[in-house]
Structure formats: C-alpha cells, structure tokens
Structure 1
C-alpha cells in the first residue's frame, strides 16, 4: 500500500481519526477521496508494512504477545471458573483486520433491524458491507452473485476446503443442517451449513489498510502515537471538540487541531477510555481518577458484549484429511513458509477454518425448565431472537491449534486433530470497560463478565452437545473419529449437561468480537452514548466509529459490520458538511 507520513510542521487538519483500525481507516480513506479535505490518522502501533504477519494469513498469531498486540487480559469471570482471558487486539495500522480469522459472516438483516436506529436497518447495513467488497469467485463455488460487491477495497474469495471440512459438511447435513453454499453472505438461513468467504486474495490477507492504496498527499499518518484525550473549546451546549492531545513513543506530547470533526475509532476497549480521559463518561468513574467531568454520560464503557466460543477437538488416525501433516511433520513449517513467501500458496496462505453452520435450538431446548420459564417477548425466544436468527454458529478447524491451553500438538504423521467450535450468539451477560488510571499508556480494565447469566450457559452447553453429535454421529465423520484430542479429555463421551457445563467453564474463550461500549441509541435511552449519526451526546464535532457503537452484536462475526460502520460513518460526515456548505456556513 502507499505510505504517507505526516508533515511535522502541520498541526491543523480538517478531520482527525483517532485509531487506525478496521473502521477508522475506512472513514479516513473515504473522507480523503475529496482532495479538499486534509485527514490525519493517529495510530498507537506500527505501520502494517513493517509486519509480515499482517500479510501472511497464517502468521496471525505471531503478532500476539508482542508490541503489535494491545495485550489486554480480562478480569476474572466467576461464570468461567474465575478464569482470565487474553483478548488480543491488533496494534498497528489496520488493527484487528490484520489478525482476525478473515471471516465474512454478516449475520442476518434482523440483527440490524433490532438496533432500531434510523439509517441502520438490515437492508442498509448489508448494502454497506456489499459496498466494501471486491468479490473474486472461484469456479467451484456457487455464489449468490447479486449479494456481493465487486468494486470495493476489500478483496474476498472462497476458501478451498481440506478434506475434513467436506466430511464435516456431510455430517452437518445428515444432522439436519441443510447445505446452502453462500448463506453467510445472504443471511437468510438460521439453520443450515455452507461456506464462508475470506478476506484474502491470491495468498495475501487484505485489511482496512488496503483502503489507502492510491490515496493522495491529503491523507497523513502518524504511527506509534497514542491518543491521550480530546480537547474542547467553549462550554455547555456550545462545547466543541477542537483538538487532540497525543503522546509519541519517546514520551513527548503535542496538540493537533481539527477544523471540522474528530472521529474516535479505537475499538470497543479503547474508544470508551479515550472518551473518559477526555471528561466524557460516568461522573463517579471520572472523578475517581481525578478527571474533570465535561459531560456526564453514564453509558460510556458499559454494555460490553462478546461472543464466546468453545473448541472441541477430535483425534483421527486417517492420514491427509486434516492439514496437520502440512504444518507439524518435521520440516513442514519451513516448507509452508517457503511456499507462501515465494509462491503465495500453501497452508500459510489461508486461515485454517473450514465448514460453517448456523443452528436454531428451540426444539432441543423446549423441555428445559430454564428455557420454558424464562421471560420472552412475543415472537422471540428467551435470548431475544426471532425464528429468523440463529442461536449458535458452528465452525471447524482443519488442523490442531487455538488458545494457549491447546499445546499438545499431533505429530502430523500418524496423529491428526481437528475441531468443531461452538459459538454463542445473543449472550445475555454484559461487561464493562473502565480506566485503570488517567495515564494513556495504561491499558483499560476489561471485565467481560462471561457466562454470568444462566441462559448463556444453557445455550452454549446445548451447542456443545449438538456439535459433538455432529462429529461422532454424523455421516461424514462418525467412522474416522478416534476420540478426543488431547486424548485424556474424553469429551466425545459426554452425554449429560453437567459434563458439558464443566467443559464450557474450563474452556470457553473469546471469539474476539467485543462491541457495545459506546452504543448508539434513542434520546430516551440514558445509557446511549451516541445518536444514530454516531455523534457523541452533549458535544459537537465528535463522533465514534467502530464496533463499540453497536447496541447489540450481530449473529455473525464483527469484521464485516466494522467495515460497514466505517463506510456509513464517512457518508454521515460527508452529508453533514455537504449540507453545511450548501447553507454557505462560514468557517467550514
């Protein structure tokens, strides 16, 4: 991608984007399409071109636990046996679009209709996801061509499945999940299986940094620069975001001014902390850190939502159906790296997720007292979902690997492993993001409060039971499973809910989908941080654009909504200043 650096003498820009992650770079690039706009992006991490593992798809995990990771660990969650979970986020230009699973799972249109916000209906959000796409099909994949975009900046393509994934699809079908190839693009099937498209093309990961290709000199980038806070001018109803205080890697600080707007795009963990350090947030929280409260907005940092997943690994002795032999045999990883480096192919050119499915659990849970007796709205289940929305997602791995506790690797010669992952949608549990201190170098305190609600545990354990049935009883895989991996786990024998409950408490982890901590909402919602145009309540010239704005998580993954939020935010900002310009407002 093209690289532009900031002019050290320039301290005033039309727009300042605080955070160079998935949504932020989309906003910046779209605003910079007008050559009359000067746009500055502030990114705490390095430039992505310095990090090979943001381009090599299979190198994603090598960014974790390094300077390229925010290195945030949650507070203990009592519902998960008091465990703390590492919630890694990309800390470089492109942010988590450079370390995610590359998955394009939009969710359903009802997910966005449920936000109940003007301009954010399912039809509208899907249209923005489509706008972001540049879809490249393959001969074998039956795409719903009308659902895709073909001239966006985000290159996507189908994933060529390993044999184990085709076997799992066969098992899913045999257990009642009908096959629909492109269902995760159309979002019209809550109970079926199919393929998921990926954000890579010709062996290379595509990220939001690709939006900067062909950008001109009106777009500037400051990397290794941490946003401390927003600085305001005037008071009361006329208070306006005027500048940003930043801290460089050497500890020096400076103020950068914005003529038009400041857009915070630090993600669900960092956007609320920037607001709080700026004096916008719950007054008691701010005062406890010696921060003057400019606007008392109690919802800042609240409503933290995430999707939980559980890896369920299985062993097989059948050779060459997983990709273990391409990674774990002696010398295999060196050859895999050579293949990617020289030919942009091989197991490191793609992410090792395989088959996918959505499932409704109404029938499976209908006899459970907790499910029967839980309150529900008319036409919705106890999780708040309509029949058009899935309760869970299943997706498989084509080799062994996952969170750090999965460290017993097969040898890739006579032992092989794969997993089916169960993902909980529409969790009832909510967490929070708070400040550790007023120091911008301190990471936030993240409390996800995982599995605090009984219904979350009920649905996730049922999902694990169903997943296990798919693998151990399904037509494509029943005959090739040799038990659990690691072999002492024994989960393939679990039948009772209490067994799966303990397994979930011990193994549930994040799907890296944090959202909701700066949610948009209606004027009568005291916990809403933003209005439907992403404007921060109580102040002018300040917006937030990232997954923190989502009032509810979609029943999918958050990559595509993050791109849609960036695209939509840019249009909202352009519309504001087009209107002002038409009215001949001075100073714009």
Structure 2
C-alpha cells in the first residue's frame, strides 16, 4: 500500500535508482518510495540466467526506443533497447565491469568527482569473487557490496585472441579494466555474474537486502515533478499502466533516476528545459535550462565476424550445431547453473591508443593544431584509450546478425568500440504524454574525426585477427562471406563496413550534465542538484559531463552511491 507522502521519492528503479533507495534506507527513520515504470520481474528467468538477456528485448521489459534515420550511418535507424523492469538495464546488459581510467573522471573537473573518488564509489557497490587463474589487483576491488562480480572462464578462441592481441603490441594485464591503469593493452573483463546468476541493481532492494522502510511500486510511470511557489520539489505525479493517476508527496527530496533517455523527458514534462521547446509543448517554463536533453553521448560499436577453420575453439557447437544443442544448454543451466547460458558470450578485451596509426592523416594533423595542450584531437591524454576491442565466443549479436552457422561452421566477432565521441545527440519529446517514448537522436558519426578513429580501429582489429599469433592460422575470412578481410587493407576500405554496421553499445550518458555555475548548458551542480529549483536531484548516467573510456555499468552504480551520500549529508 503506497502512502501519501515519504521522506524521499526515487523516480526510476534502474541501476542507479536502486542503489540510491537502498543506501537512503540505511537510515531506519527515513521512508523511501521507489517507482519503476516496468514490472518487478522477480520470476523472470531471463534476467538471472545471463544467456537469456535478448529475450527481454522487443517486449514489455524493453523501452523499445528507436532513433530517427541518422545521416552518419547511411540514414539507418538504430534500436536502443533498455531494460524496463526493476533493476533496469543492469538486467539486460553485457555484465561487463570496465571502469575506464581515473583521468576520465578527473576531466570533469568537479569537486567530489575526481577519478580517485569515483573509483572508490564503484568499489563500494562491489562484492568481488576471484578465481585461481585470475591475477587480480586485490586493492582495486570491493568485497562488501551487493553487486557480485567474478572473472569469466573463457572459450579457447578468447585465449587465442589474447595471444593475437599481445603479438600485435597490446601487453597482457589481467585486471587492467578494474585498475584503469593502462590505455594500451589487453586483459580480462570481470562480469556482474556469480555462481551462474546475474547480479543487478534490483539486488540492492530485494530479498535479503530489502528494508521495510522502502516501498516499491512497479508498472508505474513518473509523469512529472510538482513544485511549490518557492520552486521546491514537493510531489510527483504518477500514472500506472491502466492509466490511473496519483500524486505522492516528498518531505525531503525527490531523486530522478530514469537514465539518459527518460530523465530529460521527466524534466521537460515538469517545466525544466529549453524555453522554446517547452513553449511548443504547451508546458509552462519553470526553469529555462537549455542543456536538458542535449549533450547525448554514446559509445559506437562495429561487429566484424570471422569464420574459424578449427573445430571446437568457439562455442557455436554448444547452441547451433545440432537440433538439441540449445535445449541441452538450457537443461545444464537449470540443473547446475553452469554452461553457456550462465554467462555472457564475450571473450577477450583490449584498450588501444592509435597515435602512431593516425599521425600522418591530414584530418588528424589539422585537428591536433587546435587541440588543447597535452591533449590529442579527441580531447584525450596519453593515459586514456581511443578505442576498446572485445570479442564474442560464438556467432551472434544485434538482430541483423541472423545467419547462424548451423552447418557446423564456427565464427566469432571482433568488436571495435569508439571512446570519446565528438558527435553529440539529443533527447526531446513530442508531447507531454508519459506513455509516449522520448525522441532519441544519437547523431552517430556526424563528426569526421569519429569516423576517422572508428575506421582505423576496425582496421587494427582486423590486423589483430588476421596477423595475430593466436588466430592467423585458423581464420578463414569474414562470416558471412560478404567481405574478404585481408591482413593488409587501407583504412578507407572500412568506411562502408562501419557506416553499414555501426550500432549502439548502450552507454547513453550526458543529457542532464553536471557543471560549474558559469556553464549555461549544465543542468546540475556538482551536488547533483537541478539548477533553478530545490529538493530535486538526478542520479544516473545522464549526469556525466563527458563519457568515460569504459562501460557505463560501474559508473552507474558509483553515481548512485555518491548521490546517496550527498543526500544523507544534506539531511
């Protein structure tokens, strides 16, 4: 039974929102309402069973967002799947715990958000479980949080790819994606999985972590935040999936944790955003905040598949090669919580700097003349990677990759991910109807430097596969055979491949960014408080001024931890 008022209302039960609610509830005298747009999903097997992740897409458990056509990717539309259930995208992501480098957060130049401090908050959420073979940096991990993390036992192809990466100049450092200590090297990415079960944000507020002072309501959208005459946030208008409306009051603070797509939509419906946009919607402008929904950042990725000539090195035989394989994998998981469905099928990982490969490119040279001292054309220092490589352990990926190797062929993907994108997108709304999804234009590859770095990265990834010591003798070529990947290709040859295949890595951020008082595009101050009002904060990846060189899962937990501490300190 929902009360009429609470001390705190957390709008959004995704990764960050669950952390905020859980930490605020540590004060037994505080009452918290956690509002989630999607269902509870406590009985949804395809969340805890990591291999079932894709079954939650294109369903009620997915926000089902699709971009408009984007010129930079040949006017294609890109599906932006996001988890719409308690735990949010932590229940459908790739489980990867790749934190970036401390410099990424130092670049924000905001008090309380240094790399050292953000890394400490990420550790706070973590409960790390090592394995005998994994060379962990023990001080880099946390051991007391609700988020269970462990290394991934790799398929043979992944060990071979690590050898190829090493032979192509990327030194092996097992735990580099936790320590953030390298901008050029390869290693193992720990996963938010333990003993065959995915760990999610929902674990912070359910089962043995649930506290009686948290009320959780699901299948309920946040329409807007209401304010008093002093512009203090006092209540939230809610609407459940049947259309029934209600209003709940907050005595202390309201925290919006809707993510980089939905948080700006809530602010816009509440009268906070660019004045002209609000006027077109017929919304009274409470705060003219031009940065709301702007500065959308995401990591772009491109899959390049390769056929393998040697049997048993990939995991394709475990799911594709005979009619009963998929059922056998499922029964193994049901009975023992092991096998291919117990983990996510990513394998080897690497960060890479591309300075030497780009130094003779005219576009790079011209941009370097305009770069800040100590920075390259992408705005990075030498301690920050340009790209990430990661690989799959079998055929599969976004929905367009549907030519499965049923005839006992085997394949894997080399995935190239662009860090520090210069192209920025937008989030807007077409109406004040909370049931209508926001309009998300990622604006991929609009900046020519992004295309330059991405195509050179894909080219380097191809060289790793085709020339690397571990894979050069077992790779036949691309799968399916629509391209022939030779060891030596020109960067320009990869432009059509990138434009045709580039897609989201689901790392959306930046649409309600923090900033200093003199930054007109900053929606928030460094305390995560919405500028121009009181009693309202944001806690999710939309607050990030710039996108770190890693994956957003761990920063989302860290932002939730930091937000809770800020709120407690204010109380």
Bin of the TM-score, shorter chain as denominator length: over 0.9
Could you tell me which of 463, 466, 471 is aligned with 1:469? 463
Contact 2:122–2:554 (8 Å) recurs in 1: yes
Per-residue deviation, residues 42-81 of structure 1 (Å, max 9, x unmatched):
0010003032111110000110000000000011110100
CA distance in 1: counterparts of 2:552 and 2:167, whole angstroms = 29
Contact 1:18–1:227 (8 Å) recurs in 2: yes
Q: Is 1:340 matched with 2:333?
A: yes
Residue of structure 2 equivalent to 1:314: 306
Contact 1:72–1:87 (8 Å) recurs in 2: yes
CA distance in 2: counterparts of 1:228 and 1:491, whole angstroms = 50
| 5+ residue gaps, structure 2 | none
CA distance in 2: counterparts of 1:513 and 1:388, whole angstroms = 21
The DSSP-based 3-state class of the residue aligned with 1:247 is: strand
Q: Is 1:148 matched with 2:141?
A: yes
Q: Is 1:69 matched with 2:62?
A: yes
Could you tell me which of 393, 398, 401 is aligned with 1:403? 398
Contact 2:225–2:233 (8 Å) recurs in 1: yes
Q: Is 1:93 matched with 2:86?
A: yes
Matches within 5 A, 1:276-425: 276-329=268-321, 330-374=323-367, 375-411=370-406, 414-425=408-419
Could you tell me which of 117, 120, 123 is aligned with 1:127? 120
Matches within 5 A, 1:215-294: 215-234=210-229, 238-294=230-286
CA distance in 1: counterparts of 2:15 and 2:265, whole angstroms = 18
Change (3 A) 1:53 1:494: farther
CA distance in 2: counterparts of 1:50 and 1:350, whole angstroms = 19
Residue of structure 2 equivalent to 1:458: 452
Per-residue deviation, residues 312-352 of structure 1 (Å, max 9, x unmatched):
10001311100000011221110111111111000000000
Length-normalised TM-score, structure 1: 0.95
The DSSP-based 3-state class of the residue aligned with 1:309 is: strand
Per-residue deviation, residues 431-474 of structure 1 (Å, max 9, x unmatched):
00000211000000000100000000000000000000000000
CA distance in 2: counterparts of 1:23 and 1:491, whole angstroms = 41
Change (3 A) 1:229 1:563: same
Q: Is 1:524 matched with 2:518?
A: yes
The DSSP-based 3-state class of the residue aligned with 2:66 is: coil
Residue of structure 2 equivalent to 1:201: 194
Per-residue deviation, residues 207-255 of structure 1 (Å, max 9, x unmatched):
0111123322110001000000001111xxx310000000011111010
CA distance in 1: counterparts of 2:318 and 2:431, whole angstroms = 46
Residue of structure 2 equivalent to 1:552: 546
Residue of structure 2 equivalent to 1:159: 152
The DSSP-based 3-state class of the residue aligned with 2:215 is: strand
CA distance in 2: counterparts of 1:288 and 1:420, whole angstroms = 45
Shift of 1:276: 0.3
Residue of structure 2 equivalent to 1:502: 496
Contact 1:32–1:215 (8 Å) recurs in 2: no
Residue of structure 1 equivalent to 2:131: 138
The DSSP-based 3-state class of the residue aligned with 1:179 is: coil
Contact 1:33–1:215 (8 Å) recurs in 2: no
Contact 2:524–2:531 (8 Å) recurs in 1: yes
Residue of structure 2 equivalent to 1:4: none
CA distance in 2: counterparts of 1:216 and 1:513, whole angstroms = 30
The DSSP-based 3-state class of the residue aligned with 1:423 is: strand
Length-normalised TM-score, structure 2: 0.98
Change (3 A) 1:361 1:12: same
Matches within 5 A, 1:9-48: 10-48=3-41
CA distance in 2: counterparts of 1:488 and 1:510, whole angstroms = 22
Contact 1:484–1:492 (8 Å) recurs in 2: no
Per-residue deviation, residues 140-199 of structure 1 (Å, max 9, x unmatched):
111000111011110000000100000000000000000011000000110000000000
The DSSP-based 3-state class of the residue aligned with 1:337 is: helix
The DSSP-based 3-state class of the residue aligned with 1:189 is: coil
Contact 1:534–1:549 (8 Å) recurs in 2: yes
CA distance in 1: counterparts of 2:538 and 2:255, whole angstroms = 5
The DSSP-based 3-state class of the residue aligned with 2:281 is: coil
| 5+ residue gaps, structure 1 | 1-6, 578-588
The DSSP-based 3-state class of the residue aligned with 1:446 is: strand
Shift of 1:493: 6.5
Aligned positions, number: 566
Change (3 A) 1:248 1:494: farther
CA distance in 1: counterparts of 2:413 and 2:23, whole angstroms = 40
Moved more, 489-498 or 263-272: 489-498
Contact 2:466–2:487 (8 Å) recurs in 1: no
The DSSP-based 3-state class of the residue aligned with 1:49 is: coil
Could you tell me which of 479, 488, 504 is aligned with 1:485? 479
Could you tell me which of 417, 428, 434 is aligned with 1:434? 428
Shift of 1:499: 1.7
Moved more, 224-233 or 482-491: 482-491
